[in-house]
Amino acid sequence: MQHAFSKTFRLSMFVGLLVLAAVGCEQSTAPSSPQATGKAEVTFAPQPPTTGECALTITLTDSTGAPFKDATLTVEGNMNHAGMKPSFATMEESDQEGVYTGTIDFTMGGDWFLLIHADGQNGESIETKVDVPGVNAK
């Protein structure tokens, strides 16, 4: 019995170490937190934002400060704690170059963050995280 326990235990520890090694490699393939490669300025209406549908305007500029126009934009809103479904914004570019408008549904009061990913026409992309602390509960 003791021998069987030791064998099973050693096997499980070995498998566990393999898992640690495999999952531990994650950072090499994907950054743990997106780093800004351009710049994204976000404004909300109302300001400060409250729960429910909220209008947002995102102004994107590339690394040179020029407007980041004609981009395909994904905006994912998450609460800072686990267990909540993300909220995706629907965005469109406005008449002004590099300025995108849309709405996002803040489903709960508290701290949120937006993950903004924009792909430009010439292969450039912007990936950044914008904190939205203290969305007020209605």
Footprint on this chain of other proteins (rule: CB under 8 A): 1-2, 4-6, 8-9, 12-13, 15-17, 19-20, 22-27, 29-30, 32-33, 51, 76, 78-86, 88, 108-111, 113, 129, 133-134, 136-138
Closest alpha carbon to 102 in 59, 38, 132, 39: 59
Q: With beta carbons less than 8 A apart as the criterion, state whether 58 and 116 touch.
A: yes
User: Which residue is it, tokens 């170059």?
Assistant: 97
Nearest distance in Å: CB 91, other proteins: 17
Min CB(138)–other proteins separation in Å: 7
Q: Could you give the 3-state DSSP secondary structure of residue 124?
A: coil
Residue 36 vs 108, nearer CB to other proteins: 108
Shortest distance (Å) from residue 87 CB to other proteins? 10
**Which is closer to other proteins, CB of 31 or CB of 37?**
31
Can you read off the two tokens belonging to residue 112?
Answer: 């949120």
Which residue's entry shows tokens 């009061």? 109
